[in-house]
Amino acid sequence: MAQARPSPNPHQPTPPNAPQAGPGDAKPDPITWLRGLPKAELHLHLEGSITPETLVELSARNDPSPLSLDAARAIYSYHDFPSFLLCFKAVTERLHTPVDYELITYNMLRELARQGVRHAEAYISIGILYWQARLDVDQVIDAVERGRTRAKAEFGISLLWIVDAVRHFGLEACARVFRKAAELRRSYPSMIGIGIGGNELLGPAHEFRDLYAEARAAGLRLTCHAGENTGPQSIWAAINIGAERIGHALSAQDDPDLIDVLAQRQIPLELNITSNLRTGCCPALDAHPVRRYFEEGLMVTLNSDDPPFFGANLLDEYLLAHRGFGFSLEQLRELAANSIEASFLPPERKLALLGEVERYGW
C-alpha cells in the first residue's frame, strides 16, 4: 500500500480547464456559494469528527493532567491505512463518559451546520464501544440523541445514525452490534441503518450476507465500506449482500462491468477524496476517479469521512472538486442534490430539501 500523502490543498489555483462559475453574468465567490449550498453529508464517522479542540475539551473534563492543544494535535498522525486505524482508536479512547458522546455529537453538528449541511447521516461505532467495554451502549445512545436534539433545535440540521461494526473484529462481534442496532431501531427512529467499516482485507463483505439480511428484516438500511483498500471484488460483494450505498468505491474504476452496474442501478457512492489521498488508498489527486465516475453517470456524492484526521471538511471537498477536478458550481449543485436523493430521509423531506437545492440562487 502506498504511503499517506500530504493533504491536498483545497485552495490550490484553479486549473486552466476549470469551468465558469455559473449561468448568466453572476460570478459568485465559490467558497461563499458552496457554503450556502444546501447539502447532505452521508459518510462521516462520529468518532472521526472529533477535532483536536474537542479533544482538549474532553481531556479538561476527564484527565488529571489535561492535554494541551499541541499534544492533542500530535495524536492525529499516521503514515498508512493500518496506522490511521490505530490513530482513530487513540482518539476514541479519549471518550470516557456518555456525556462526552453528547458533546462530540453536538460539536459535529454545529460544525456541519456552519458548512451549509442541512442533513447528515453519521456512523456511530458501537463495535468500538463493545470492544472497549467501558461504557453502557444504551447510555451512550441516550447521550448522542440529546446532542442530536439540541443541535437540531439550535441549528436546524437533521441527523440519522448508521450503526457501524468493525469488520476486522470478526463476525461474532459484528453480529452483536447489528442485533443491538435492530433493538435500537425499535426505540429510536433516528437509528436508520447499519454498515461495516475497518479493514476490508480482514473482513470481506460476503461473510456478512446473513447479518445484512437480518438487519434489513429489522427495518435497517444497509451501507457498506467497500473498495477503499481492496479491489472491485469487494464492491461486488457489498452489492451482493444488499448494500444500498457504497462507501469509497475507489476500486470500481478498475472494473468496467462494475461501472456499468453502478451506473444502471444508480447505486449511490459515498466518495471521500481527501480521505483516500491521506490514507494512501489513492496515490495522487489525478488518480482519483471522482470526475470519471461523474462523467460515466454514476450516482456520486461527496463526503468527508473523518475530517480532522484528514484536514478537510465537507466544504473543502466541494471546493476540491471545483478547483482540482473542474466541477462547475452547477455540477456541484447536482452533487448536492445527489446527496439529498441518496439519503435515507423520508420522501417528503427529500423533496423539500431538493427544492431548496434547486432554488438556491447565485
Residue ranges binding Zn ion (CB under 5 A): 305
The full 3-state SS of 114-139, as one line of letters, equals HCCEEEEEEEECHHHHHHHCCCCHHH
Q: Between β-strands 158-166 and 117-124, what pairing exists: parallel, antiparallel or unpaired? A: parallel
- For Zn ion, the closer of residues 56 and 250 by Cβ is 250
* Cβ atoms 217, 189 nearer than 8 A: no
Cβ-Cβ contacts under 8 Å for 329 (sequence gap 6 or more): 21, 22, 28, 30, 33, 34, 322
Side chain identity at residue 344, one-letter code: F
Whether 228 is catalytic is yes
Angle at the Cα of 354 from the Cα atoms of 332 and 345, rounded to 5 degrees: 110
Task: Please state the closest distance from residue 145 (CB atom) to Zn ion, in A.
Answer: 22
The residue annotated as part of the active site, out of 41, 111, 200, 228, is: 228
Task: Please state the closest distance from residue 241 (CB atom) to Zn ion, in A.
Answer: 17
What is the number of the residue whose Cβ is closest to Zn ion? 305
Phi, psi of 246 (to 5 degrees): -115, 125
Rounded CA separation 327/349 (Å): 27
- For Zn ion, the closer of residues 166 and 191 by Cβ is 166
Phi, psi of 64 (to 5 degrees): -60, -40
Rounded CA separation 66/55 (Å): 10
- For Zn ion, the closer of residues 305 and 317 by Cβ is 305
* Cβ atoms 296, 35 nearer than 8 A: no
* Pick from 124, 104, 105: nearest CA to 61: 104
The C-alpha cell 498522525 sits at 77
Task: Please state the closest distance from residue 306 (CB atom) to Zn ion, in A.
Answer: 7
Indicate the SS3 state at residue 145.
Answer: helix
Rg (CA), the chain: 19
Task: Please state the closest distance from residue 228 (CB atom) to Zn ion, in A.
Answer: 8
- For Zn ion, the closer of residues 42 and 55 by Cβ is 42
- For Zn ion, the closer of residues 59 and 223 by Cβ is 223
Rounded CA separation 303/273 (Å): 8
Task: Please state the closest distance from residue 14 (CB atom) to Zn ion, in A.
Answer: 29
Task: Please state the closest distance from residue 272 (CB atom) to Zn ion, in A.
Answer: 7
- For Zn ion, the closer of residues 250 and 345 by Cβ is 250
Bridge partners of 225? Answer: 247
Task: Please state the closest distance from residue 43 (CB atom) to Zn ion, in A.
Answer: 6
Of the chain, the end-to-end C-alpha distance in Å amounts to: 43
* Cβ atoms 226, 262 nearer than 8 A: no
Cβ-Cβ contacts under 8 Å for 183 (sequence gap 6 or more): none
- For Zn ion, the closer of residues 111 and 305 by Cβ is 305
The residues annotated with a catalytic role in the active site are 228
